[in-house]
Structure 1
Amino acid sequence: MASHTLDSSVNARIVASNKDFALSQPEYLIAGNWKMNGLGADADALAKGVAAGASSAPAVTELLVCPPYLHIDRVSAALAGSGAQVGGQDCHNEISGAFTGDVSAEMLADMGCSYVIVGHSERRDGHREGDPAIWAKASAALRAGLKPIICVGETEQERLAGKAEETVARQVRACTPDGVDGSKIALAYEPVWAIGSGRTPTRDEIAAVHKAMRAALEDMLGAEAGGGIRLLYGGSVKPSNAKEIMALDNVNGALIGGASLKAEDFLGIAATCA
């Protein structure tokens, strides 16, 4: 698979501006993906619940919520001063243009977002987004000063065929911009068959895939940069199973779907990182 490289000036800016962040970023990133859920009042209530409990989250965690685009402003206001961050659920790779219904990374940054999810399996499947599109979106996020959370994961057929680690490592190489500062991105392993199903891979299966992801990143970026990237697990994460998942090698947080729609569950998952 051919590698992709960020424009040298963009990468230089990213590296220069994030040397200090690499030394200080929390060990765990706990990210809630609200997907297409909630009206305004629901978003207000959920964000206020997260804000109320954010101060009790372990110091080793960074909290992030990714609401629907229309709620970003009100969620940002509700979370102000809590320490929790706000992110987008997707972005277009262009800065602006005739792209009806799309949102650019620059628009998200302008609204106060610090992260954006790219490559979620629901986008890959429902919007037919392949690895090149995900790479372009991750690069756009970096260009705008956002930290992309790049999602990867195998289908059930690939898992049953014994190709889970191979598939995920290939996606990591194809979707991660070469030469990027490791403190500016995160990757999330979400086995497609586990999302929203209530099914979770075994601890050994999760550990094996995360090990393959780490190896691919270190091969691409070097041991220091590749070893410092936070790798999240996503796929039916809940308070009852989070502690054993967070304890695994190379697991540095979670990308949470359904459980992030209840503040107590979201904060309960974060609490397991202590």
Structure 2
Amino acid sequence: MAVVSTSLASQLSGPKSATSHCPQFSGLRRSCSKLDHSLSLSSTQSLIQNVDSHLRLSSSRRGCRGVVTMAGTGKFFVGGNWKCNGTKDSISKLISDLNSAKLEADVDVVVAPPFVYIDQVKNSLSDRIEIAAQNSWIGKGGAFTGEISVEQLKDIGCKWVVLGHSERRHVIGEDDEFIGKKAGYALSQNLGVIACIGELLKEREEGKTFDVCFQQMKAFADAVPSWDNVVIAYEPVWAIGTGKVATPQQAQEVHIAVREWLKKNVSAEVASKTRIIYGGSVNGSNCAELAKQEDIDGFLVGGASLKGPEFATIVNSVTSKKVAA
């Protein structure tokens, strides 16, 4: 999917100033009023490279990519995380709905069932939709009661695994380093990783959104052997399962900041090609507006992924994306 960005310089010189967006981004920037509208491109880049909780990016400063093909596939990415939900009967109905749904062709679609139903889903779901696991162990299997190995996941047909989800971080207690090691091992065994990052409400209110996301990104970057099979999912924890959704501008602001972090700390190529998707109470009503944002390359969907027709609507929101040939 080719995406045409507006240059950073032209955005800064445009009619919408960084300061004018302050009310929409409460908690992300404490001192946006100090931004100088006459900043040069070089000084702006310097600011981006030194982002901290006292100076935050504005979503009006878009455009690090130019014309790119996302992740080498040219495709939007939509994942459905079923979490700890479903029975054999309800999942059979969901599979039937998904199999009969008309899905846009230029979207990678993945669902993550509970472990005990992966085989059922794999054997009855259309090949159009790939299977992900919701977790994996840090290394090769063995005497690790209750864990699932990457090798086992691949053996039953999984192509992806969701790692770093907020519920694993904040309910189960997994830390950044542990999650990074899981990701590194999964990728070393050619299992794709949906790498989740995101801040708590308290962290957003304290202006630490970028600090938290960058710290979580660093843990992934320190461990992964390659970014070729990684999709980053930005999921503000305060928006997961709460019905609260980041505004399209709020989501875009974090997505562009994460892309800039990749550019500085990994490479410009990885920053350009890595898909960054949004999660957090995404549904059939809000997906189109979110999809229009330049750096939102898809979605990781929770509750709405349990409803076949609504999940199809979210997949098909790719049509809202501004695309240039």
TM range (shorter): 0.7 to 0.9
**Aligned-residue CA RMSD (Å):** 1.7
Q: Any idea what the Cα deviations from partners look like across 1:205-252, whole Å, max 9, x if unmatched? A: 111110111111122321112211111100000010001111112111
Residue from 141, 150, 155 that aligns with 1:110: 155
2:113 alignment partner in structure 1? 67
More moved, 40-49 vs 111-120: 40-49
Q: Does 1:176 align with 2:216?
A: no
Structure 1 length-normalised TM: 0.87
> 2:44 matched to which residue of 1?
none
Q: Is the 8 A contact 1:152 1:189 kept in 2?
A: yes
Q: In the alignment, which residue of structure 2 is the partner of 1:210?
A: 255
Pairing partner for 2:175 from 130, 137, 155: 130
Distance 2:272 2:112 in 1: 25
- 1 or 2, which has the higher helix percentage? 1
Partner amino acid for 1:138? A
Tell me which residue corresponds to 1:40.
Answer: 88
1:34-71 deviation digits (Å, cap 9, x = unpaired): 00001112112212211221xx2222211100000011
Q: Is the 1:182–1:226 Cα contact (8 Å) retained in structure 2?
A: no
1:65-118 Cα distance to aligned partner (Å, 9 max, x none): 00000111110111243x110010010112112211110111111110000000
Paired with 1:130 and 1:266, the residues of 2 have a C-alpha distance of 30
Q: SS of 2:92's equivalent? A: helix
Residue pairs, 1:183-262, within 5 angstroms? 183-262=228-307
**CA contact 1:173–1:216 (8 Å) conserved in 2:** no
Letter in 2 for 1:38: G
TM-score between both structures, scaled by the size of structure 2: 0.74
Kept after mapping to 2: 8 A contact 1:22/1:183: no
Q: For structure 1, which runs of at least 5 residues remain unmatched after alignment?
A: 1-20
Range with greater deviation from structure 2 (249-258 or 56-65) = 56-65
2:73 partner letter:
Q
Percent identity between the two aligned chains: 35
Q: What is the distance in 1 between the residues matched to 2:224 and 2:173?
A: 27
The structure 2 residue matched to 1:159, chosen from 199, 204, 221, is 204
Match of 1:11 in 2: none
The more displaced of 178-187 and 156-165 is: 178-187
The 1:257/1:97 distance shift into structure 2, 3 A limit, reads same
Number of paired residues?
Answer: 251
Does the Cα contact within 8 Å between 1:203 and 1:248 map onto a contact in 2?
yes
- Which of the residues 27, 36, 41 maps onto 2:75? 27
Partner SS for 2:285: helix
Deviations 1:244-264 (A, max 9, x none): 111112111100000000001
SS at match of 1:204: helix
CA distance change for structure 1 residues 104 and 247 in 2, over 3 Å: closer, same or farther?
same
